[in-house]
Each structure stands twice: as structure tokens, then as C-alpha cells.
């Protein structure tokens, strides 16, 4: 199958899979990550662009947060789909490895797999978690989980294990400290680092305003 046909077929598949998804993890999240991944890949040498495209499109087709923590569903569905499309086996393995390793998972895990393609897609996914979109997604998910906006008595936990991160019910603002504000320093590529710096600054300004309004000072 020609690359463009495969990408279009993948887009249709992903849209169908995510037609009832939560607003922060829906098709539009995928589309943003896809566009960012292509933008980053343009600046990187020796990157398999098709692998980047497919991994960006398929990385969240079954996010474990919405499947009782099961991290095997997404990679399995992606493998089944790509096998039917007759993608080369080595490229399938690369895409699956990216899907299995892209998640933040609390940020205290040792990443054992690495590739240039993973760096590109992971940076793109992390960029969509910060800045204005990141703020919107964070509060959307907090509302979806019926979490408090903020509680001064509940401090962020910067040493969350993977399981604690997955089970957390902390107020939404805590998530900024437990993940979002950490992502700027975790970018792999120069392109992503430049974008992340500006988005990070926007989040800091937002939090400053949030606390001022919380105290009735603004």
C-alpha cells in the first residue's frame, strides 16, 4: 500500500476508534500530535517518517486510563490493524515499541527503549500536554474524573510510582507539578524544546493568575 493511502486508512481507523473518547484524548488530540510530530520530524535526520506518522496516529487508540489500566489493548489493536495493512514487520515493531514506551507514567520510570522516531512522537505528545491546550486538557480530564480544581491542603507528590500515578485522585492543579511543569526538561529534540519553553512559560503565568484569583487578589 502506498504510504499516503496507508496514512489515510489509518486516520479513518483512528477516528472510528475514538468517536466516543474523552475530549482530551479524542481524535483532535491525535491530529495535533500528528501535526507536531511531522513538524519535528522535518528537522531531524534519518527518521522514518512513515513510522512517525503511524505511531502518532495510533499512540492513543486505547489509552490505559480508560481501560482499567490495561496497557496491552492499544498495542494489540495497532498490531492487528498494521498487520492487515501489510506494513513491513520491522516497521510494525517500531510503531508498537513507540506506543508501548510513549507514556509519561509518573516520570520516575527508566525508559529502556529508544529510537529517533520515539523521540519525535514522544516530544509531540508531550507538547500537547502543556501550554494552553495542555491546561484545557488537564481541567477537562479533571472534570471527567470529578476531581477538585485545587485544595491547598493536598500537596503535589513528585515521587509518584507508576501505579500511584495511575491511581491518583489528587486535585487537578497538582497535576501541573506532578507532570506538566516537568515536561519541558524531558524534550528530546531542539524543535520541541523551543516550543516547550514558550508553552511552559504560559502555564506558569496561568498558575500565578489562578492563585491570585483563588485568594481574591485579582
Write down the pLDDT at residue 64: 63
100 falls in which pLDDT band (50, 70, 90)?
Answer: very high
Reply yes or no on whether the pLDDT at 27 is more than 80.
yes
| pTM exceeds 0.85 for this model | yes
pLDDT 10s digits, 33-57: 999 999 999 999 999 999 999 999 9
> Are 82 and 95 contacting, i.e. CB atoms less than 8 angstroms apart?
yes
The most distant pair of C-alpha atoms in the chain lies apart, rounded to whole Å, by 60
Mean pLDDT of the chain: 92
Write down the pLDDT at residue 68: 65
CA angle 49, 98, 145 (to 5 degrees): 120
Amino acid at each position: 500500500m502506498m504510504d499516503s493511502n496507508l496514512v489515510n486508512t489509518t486516520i479513518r481507523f483512528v477516528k472510528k476508534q475514538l468517536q466516543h473518547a474523552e475530549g482530551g484524548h479524542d481524535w483532535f488530540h491525535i491530529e495535533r500530535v500528528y501535526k507536531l510530530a511531522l513538524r519535528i520530524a522535518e528537522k531531524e535526520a534519518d527518521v522514518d517518517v512513515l513510522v512517525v506518522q503511524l505511531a502518532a496516529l495510533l499512540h492513543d487508540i486505547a489509552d490505559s486510563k480508560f481501560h482499567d489500566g490495561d496497557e496491552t489493548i492499544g498495542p494489540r489493536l495497532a498490531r492487528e490493524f498494521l498487520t492487515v495493512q501489510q506494513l513491513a514487520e520491522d516497521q510494525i515493531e517500531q510503531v508498537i515499541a513507540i506506543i508501548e514506551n510513549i507514556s509519561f507514567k509518573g516520570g520516575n520510570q527508566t525508559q529502556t527503549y529508544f529510537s529517533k522516531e520515539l523521540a519525535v512522537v514522544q516530544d509531540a505528545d508531550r507538547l500537547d500536554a502543556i501550554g494552553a491546550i495542555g491546561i484545557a486538557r488537564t481541567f477537562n480530564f479533571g472534570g471527567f474524573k470529578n476531581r477538585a480544581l485545587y485544595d491547598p491542603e493536598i500537596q503535589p507528590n513528585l515521587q509518584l510510582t507508576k501505579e500511584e500515578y495511575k491511581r491518583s485522585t489528587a486535585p487537578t492543579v497538582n497535576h501541573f507539578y506532578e507532570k506538566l511543569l516537568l515536561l519541558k526538561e524531558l524534550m528530546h529534540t531542539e524543535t520541541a524544546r523551543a516550543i516547550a519553553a514558550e508553552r511552559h512559560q504560559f502555564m506558569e503565568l496561568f498558575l500565578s493568575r489562578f492563585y491570585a484569583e483563588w485568594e481574591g487578589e485579582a
